[in-house]
Amino acid sequence: MSSEIINDKERTNNIRMIKLIAVIFMSLLISGMKAENASEKTWIIVIDAGHGGKDPGAVGKISREKNINLAIALKTGEYLEQNVENVSVLYTRKTDEFMELRDRPEFANKNNADLFISIHSNWISKSTIKGSETWIMGPAQNDQNLEVAMKENEVILLEDDFSTKYEGFDPKSPESYIMFTVMQNTFRQQSTLLASTIQSQLKNRAGRIDRGVKQAGFWVLYMTTMPSVLVETGFITNPDEEKYLVSKEGQDYIASAIYRAIRDYINEIDKKTNISTSKEKEQVSTPDSSVSDRVPVVDELRYMIQIATSAVKKSLTPDNFKGFKDVVELSSQNLFRYATGSFSSYQQAAEYRNKIEAIYPDAFVIAVKNNKIVPLQDALNSK
Ligand SMILES: [Zn+2]
């Protein structure tokens, strides 16, 4: 009897031990899986519904801009959360509340957002005009563009003590907008890519008239420290478009178009990042990158690291580029691009980019031939 009890006890102990081992094994497995997931980037997307509360935004015959913006913003976020795995969506407002203009970009900066998307609806005196446009930060190239930015910045006037809060910036004075002509928009290229993806989705998915990607001095885009766009979904001054903008169907289509564009943008950038990581893993036997073959740009294909863009020409002194001495200028589409390093292989360029990431977090590898930027994918395929 006693030996049976001992056997039973032993058996119980053995079972406990097996269970314990199983638990330890499972938890190791799970922690391993977690570590793997953690390496996949989570994209923090801030969606900003323009206006709100005492600021109605543009006022149409049957609608107020603030309500349209909020409905589309919430729906866009919902689509993103439902359909894209690695996103975290944050909203500057989720209800009909007033928010100071400067708090919107600050919210995105504070949360280390990867993208900032401000959603608006347009106003113009001519009721025949309709269509969608997406804006990026930059100096306005004509009076109409300046007017759109002025209109969207005007809300500042509803705030107390706006002159102090906005460093003397007066949304109604054209002189105030001169500061935007000298600024450097580090995220111009990414913002343009996102903006043009949104425009093509709005056109193809939602059947909107494509009024293009435009630039002007919007305060919300000026203050953000990540790729940022402002979408003017349509004109509430056009009776047909206003009807579309207030309808559930119209809001669904517009939100769906914006969501798809963000999804495609994320995939595009993730794909580029994956190219660099997978190549780096293969890199075990290649020599130290410090003996990289840095030579001036010649007519053969080279990989360089773009560190800055500017609408105005800059002199190539190290002071202008955080001490970098080998900066070259490449111009394309009214824009001066500045790049450093020059490598014959993508791998070396990617490694160098990682090295300077702390100094230029937004730097990325570009392919250059005959002093012209060529599509990276084409360059990689050509080898
Ligand atoms: Zn607006």
Over the stretch 52-66, which tens digit does the pLDDT of each residue have?
Answer: 999 999 999 999 999
DSSP structure string for 136-195: EES--SSHHHHHHHHHHHGGGGGSTTHHHHTTT--TT-GGGGGHHHH---TTHHHHHHHH
pLDDT of residue 12: 62
CA of residue 98 to ligand 1 center, whole Å: 13
Model confidence band, residue 32 (pLDDT cutoffs 50, 70, 90)? very low
HSE value, Cβ hemisphere, 13 Å, CA-based, for 345: 14
> Which residue range(s) make up the domain with 368?
286-381
Residue 33 pLDDT > 60, yes or no? no
CATH of the domain at 330: 3.30.70.1070
pLDDT tens-digit series, residues 153-163: 999 999 988 88
CA of 57 to the centre of ligand 1 (A): 5
Q: Quick one: pLDDT at residue 356?
A: 82
- Domain assignment present for 277: no
What average pLDDT does the segment 169-177 reach? 90
Q: Residue 210, exposed/middle/buried by CB under 10 A (0-12, 13-18, 19+)?
A: middle
- How would DSSP label each residue in 24-61? HHHHHHHHHHHHHHHTSPPEEEEEEE--BTTB--SB-S
Percent of the chain with pLDDT over 90: 51
- Å from CA of 223 to ligand 1 middle: 17
From the CA of 117, how far away is ligand 1's center (Å)?
13
Res 240: pLDDT: 97
Order the strands of the 210-216 sheet from edge to edge. Answer: 87-91, 43-49, 115-122, 228-235, 132-137, 210-216
Taking the centre of ligand 1 as the mean of its atom positions, its distance from the CA of residue 264, in whole angstroms, is 25
CA of 43 to the centre of ligand 1 (A): 25
Residues 359 and 251 in one domain: no
Mean pLDDT estimate for the chain: 84
Q: Which amino acid, one-letter code, is at 69?
A: N
Domain co-membership, 11 together with 75: no
Closest CA to 224 of 139, 111, 98: 111
Amino acid, res. 237: T
Query: What phi and psi, each to the nearest 5 degrees, are found at residue 238?
Result: -100, 120
Structure confidence at residue 25 (pLDDT): 60
- Give the dihedral sign, CA 247/126/59/89: positive
The position carrying tokens 């190219």 is 275
Mean pLDDT of 204-208: 95
The number of domains in the chain is 3
Q: Identify the band that residue 223 occupies on the pLDDT scale cut at 50, 70 and 90.
A: very high
At 264 the pLDDT is 94
pLDDT at 271: 74
Interatomic CA distance for residues 323 and 313, integer angstroms: 18
pLDDT higher than threshold 70 for residue 34: no
Q: Locate all alpha helices (DSSP H) within the chain, ordered by sequence.
A: 2-38, 65-83, 103-110, 143-153, 162-165, 179-182, 188-204, 219-223, 239-246, 248-282, 346-355, 376-381
CA 120–ligand 1 middle distance (angstroms): 4
Q: Are residues 156 and 29 in the same domain?
A: no
The answer as to whether 32 is a domain residue is yes
Calculate mean pLDDT across residues 33-50.
Answer: 73
244 compared with 178, residue with greater pLDDT: 244
pLDDT, mean of residues 261-267: 94
pLDDT-derived band of residue 9, with 50, 70 and 90 as boundaries? low
Say yes or no: 23 and 87 in one domain.
no
Name residues whose C-beta falls within 8 Å of residue 184's C-beta, 6 or more positions apart in sequence: 308, 309, 310
Question: Which residues does 55 contact at the CB level (< 8 Å), separation at least 6?
Answer: 66, 98, 155, 158
Instruction: Report pLDDT digits (tens) over 358-367.
Output: 778 778 888 8
Q: Is residue 142 part of a domain?
A: yes
306, 188: one domain: no
The two structure tokens encoding residue 203:
């056109």
User: Do residue 79 and residue 153 come from a single domain?
Assistant: yes
Split at pLDDT 50, 70, 90, the class of 292 is very low
Tell me if 306 sits within 8 A of 366, measured CB to CB.
yes
Decide if 376 contacts 366 (C-beta within 8 A): yes
At 331, the pLDDT band (50, 70, 90 cuts) reads confident
> How far is ligand 1, taken at its centre, from the CA of residue 52, in Å?
10
Label residue 282 by pLDDT band (50, 70, 90): very low
Domain presence at residue 274: no
Query: How sure is the predictor about 296, in pLDDT bands with cuts at 50, 70 and 90?
Result: very low
Nearest residue to 246 (alpha-carbon basis) of 143, 121, 128: 121
CA 126/CA 106 separation, integer angstroms? 34
| Predicted local confidence at residue 7, as pLDDT | 61
Distance 224 CA to ligand 1 centre (A): 17
Residue 362: predicted pLDDT: 78
Residue 276 inside a domain? The answer is no
Residue 286 backbone zone (phi > 0: left; psi -120 to 50: alpha; other: beta): beta
Is residue 382 scored above 60 in pLDDT?
Answer: yes
